[in-house]
Amino acid sequence: MRESLTNELFDLNHTLFSAFFQENLWEVLSLLENQFDDFISLISSSYLEWKPGIWVSENVSIAPTAFIEGPAIIGSNTEIRHGAFLRKNVITGNDCVIGNSTEVKNALLFDGVQIPHFNYVGDSILGYKAHLGAGAILSNFRFDGKDISIRTENKKYRTGRNKLGAIIGDQVEVGANCVILPGSLIGKGAQIYPLVSTGGFIPAHTIVKKSIFS
């Protein structure tokens, strides 16, 4: 899973951190966990350290009832709404929304991502303008605790991670109350209808209306 697949999933003009997307995509998550200072080194002077380890750009709105545990980087014009919970190692792009009762942990969001209502996003990457409907969950842990693999159309990759949510391409729409299984790879522009449980590899621009377990 090299640079070609990265470009198939993401427009790298919509993140400050394109330099980290040249190897296997899940390695970005390991960098978030272990080398967060590398991300901080790339932010501009428009970011200020709002609280220790929490870097915030211009025109960010953070509700008094939101909780952010550093390290974190919050892009400009992003809105962190009432009751949001950011649990370490979180990066948002510009113009994002993290909403009511949404929990985010060890994740990178490109510009324009919306996760506005009752969502869980753990150990995941969400591309430009990806959107999760109310109650949509990105599950990041197998019942048996085994390491999680990622599949493309033709190949299976061992990640060596026992926590891995979803890698979601640009402009993906995930409907309300969906559950996306650990290690899912969802191509650009895919649409997943409400109440669907699905996982594995979902090609770009696919419409998923029925639950699929793979």
- The CA distance from 161 to 46, in Å, is 34
Active-site choice (14, 82, 117, 205): 117
Q: Tell me, yes or no, if 117 is annotated catalytic.
A: yes
Residues 6+ apart with CB under 8 A from 43: 16, 55, 57, 73
Q: Which residues of 92-127 are buried (b: 16+ CB within 10 A; e: fewer)?
A: bbbbbbbbbebbbbbbbbbbbbbbbbbbbbbbbbbb
- The CA distance from 155 to 175, in Å, is 27
Residues catalogued as catalytic: 117
